[in-house]
C-alpha cells in the first residue's frame, strides 16, 4: 500500500473529534487560545479539552475565574488585540451571565465599527438534554442567539462535522456560537483527521434521502430523526432527513429543495416549540414553497415549561414516537 493511500480516518467520539479539531487549530495558528472553567488540568467537565493545556501551556489553554461574563468579555478584548479565543461555557444554562457580553458587545462590534474591528471569538456550549442532569444543565438556548444579528450559530450532529466545523468556526472572522450536542458526545463515527474544512458553516446537509416527508433537525435530534426514518421505512414511509448544521444563517435553500420534492415537513428540536427554530423554518417554507406543500409544516420539540426534572426529560424531549406521530399526521393531511 502506498503512503498516500494510508488510512487517515479514525473511529472516534464526537467529543474526541472536537478535541482533535481544537488541537489542529491550536497547532495551526499561534493566536488561537482556549479559555474556560476547568478546561486545563481537568480537561473540561466533559473532557473535550483533555490534554490540551499539557501540550500548549496555560497561556493558550487558560483556566479562568468562575465568571462567564468575564470569560466572554476578556475574550472580546483579546480578540481586539489579534487573538482568536475559543471560550467554553461549561453548561448551556450557565451562558446567561454572559448573555449581555455576547448580544450587546460581541455581536455588534463589527457593525458599529463599520467593519474596522473584527471579533473572531468562538463560544462552545455543551447543550441539550438526555443525560439525566440537574437543573440548568440541559437547556437549548440556541435561538436566543440566532435572533441576534452579528452572530453565527451552528451545531454539529456528527463526529465528522464536529471535527471540521470547530476548525471552520475558529477560522471564521465572525463570532460563532458553537452548540455541542452533549447527549451525543459519546457517539462514534469514522472521521477524516486530515480534513481542515468540510461543508462550511452556512450549509445544511441532507443526512438521508427520502421522498414522502422532510424531517428537519439539528444537533442531538438529527440522530433521532434518522432513527425515525429507519423505523418509518419499515412501514413504507420514506423520510428525508435534513441536518441544519447552521441555525444562523438558516440554509433555507436546502430545506426548500427537499420540501419541494416531498411536499411535507416536520421540524424537530429539543428547544421549546414556541418561537423556536421550527417556527422560523415553517414560516420560510410556507413563504417559499407554499404551492408544493401537501400539509402544514409541523413541529416537534420541548414544551413551554422550564426544563423538567431528569426523571421526566424523556417525556419532554422529542422522542422517536413523537417524531413518527408528527410524520403520520403530515402524511394523513
Residues that bind another protein (CB under 8 A): 33, 59, 64-65, 67, 69-70, 72-83, 97, 100-101, 104-105, 108-118, 149-150, 152, 172-174, 202, 248-253
φ/ψ of residue 155, rounded to 5: -150, 110
Query: Contact, 262 vs 213, CB < 8 A?
Result: yes
Question: Whole-number minimum distance, CB 199 to another protein, in Å?
Answer: 14
What is the C-alpha separation between 323 and 266, in angstroms, rounded?
A: 8
User: Active-site residue among 137, 147, 218, 304?
Assistant: 137
Q: Which is nearer to another protein, 111 or 303 (CB)?
A: 111
Question: Whole-number minimum distance, CB 253 to another protein, in Å?
Answer: 8
Q: Which is nearer to another protein, 117 or 333 (CB)?
A: 117
Q: What is the dihedral of CA 221, 203, 287, 284, to 10 degrees?
A: 40
CA-to-CA separations, 1 to 7, 10, 108, 190, in angstroms, rounded: 10, 18, 52, 20
What is the C-alpha separation between 85 and 201, in angstroms, rounded?
A: 18
Question: Whole-number minimum distance, CB 79 to another protein, in Å?
Answer: 8
Q: Which is nearer to another protein, 30 or 132 (CB)?
A: 30
Determine whether 137 is an active site residue: yes
Q: In DSSP terms, which residues pair with 186 in a beta bridge?
A: none
Provide the edge-to-edge strand list for the sheet that holds 239-243.
205-208, 239-243, 213-217, 265-272, 298-302
Q: Which is nearer to another protein, 193 or 203 (CB)?
A: 203
What is the C-alpha separation between 319 and 6, in angstroms, rounded?
A: 40
Q: Which is nearer to another protein, 238 or 252 (CB)?
A: 252
Instruction: Give the SS3 label for residue 157.
Output: coil
Using a 10 angstrom Cβ sphere, with 0-12 exposed, 13-18 middle and 19 or more buried, the burial of residue 213 is buried
What is the C-alpha separation between 197 and 215, in angstroms, rounded?
A: 26
Q: Which is nearer to another protein, 22 or 109 (CB)?
A: 109
Question: Whole-number minimum distance, CB 167 to another protein, in Å?
Answer: 17
Question: Whole-number minimum distance, CB 288 to another protein, in Å?
Answer: 11
Q: How many CB atoms lie within 10 A of CB 141?
A: 18
Query: Contact, 35 vs 75, CB < 8 A?
Result: yes
What is the C-alpha separation between 278 and 298, in angstroms, rounded?
A: 8
Q: How many CB atoms lie within 10 A of CB 214?
A: 29
Question: Whole-number minimum distance, CB 121 to another protein, in Å?
Answer: 10
Provide the annotated active-site residues. Answer: 137
Amino acid at each position: 500500500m502506498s503512503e498516500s493511500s494510508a488510512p487517515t480516518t479514525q473511529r472516534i467520539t464526537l467529543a474526541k473529534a472536537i478535541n482533535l479539531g481544537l488541537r489542529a487549530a491550536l497547532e495551526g495558528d499561534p493566536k488561537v487560545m482556549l479559555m474556560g472553567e476547568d478546561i486545563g488540568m481537568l480537561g473540561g467537565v466533559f473532557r473535550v479539552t483533555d490534554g490540551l493545556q499539557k501540550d500548549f501551556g496555560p497561556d493558550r489553554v487558560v483556566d479562568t475565574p468562575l465568571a462567564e461574563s468575564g470569560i466572554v468579555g476578556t475574550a472580546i478584548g483579546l480578540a481586539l488585540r489579534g487573538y482568536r479565543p475559543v471560550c467554553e461555557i461549561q453548561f448551556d444554562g450557565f451562558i446567561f451571565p454572559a448573555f449581555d457580553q455576547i448580544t450587546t458587545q460581541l455581536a455588534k462590534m463589527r457593525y458599529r465599527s463599520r467593519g474596522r474591528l473584527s471579533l473572531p471569538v468562538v463560544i462552545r456550549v455543551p447543550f441539550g438534554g438526555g443525560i439525566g442532569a440537574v437543573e440548568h444543565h440541559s437547556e437549548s438556548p440556541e435561538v436566543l442567539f440566532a435572533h441576534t444579528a452579528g452572530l453565527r450559530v451552528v451545531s454539529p450532529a456528527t463526529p465528522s462535522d464536529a471535527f471540521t466545523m470547530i476548525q471552520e468556526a475558529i477560522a471564521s472572522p465572525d463570532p460563532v456560537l458553537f452548540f455541542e450536542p452533549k447527549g451525543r458526545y459519546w457517539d462514534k463515527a469514522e472521521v477524516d483527521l486530515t480534513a481542515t474544512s468540510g461543508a462550511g458553516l452556512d450549509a445544511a446537509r441532507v443526512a438521508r434521502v427520502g421522498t414522502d416527508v422532510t424531517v428537519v433537525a439539528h444537533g442531538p435530534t438529527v440522530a433521532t430523526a434518522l432513527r425515525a426514518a429507519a423505523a418509518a421505512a419499515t412501514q413504507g414511509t420514506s423520510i428525508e432527513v435534513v441536518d441544519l448544521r447552521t441555525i444562523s444563517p438558516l440554509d433555507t435553500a436546502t430545506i426548500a429543495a427537499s420540501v419541494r420534492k416531498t411536499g411535507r415537513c416536520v421540524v424537530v428540536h429539543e428547544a421549546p416549540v414556541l418561537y423556536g427554530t421550527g417556527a422560523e423554518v415553517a414560516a420560510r417554507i410556507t413563504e417559499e414553497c407554499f404551492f408544493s406543500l401537501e400539509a402544514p409544516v409541523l413541529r416537534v420539540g420541548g414544551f413551554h415549561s422550564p426544563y423538567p426534572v431528569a426523571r421526566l426529560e424523556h417525556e419532554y424531549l422529542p422522542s422517536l414516537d413523537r417524531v413518527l406521530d408528527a410524520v403520520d399526521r403530515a402524511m394523513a393531511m
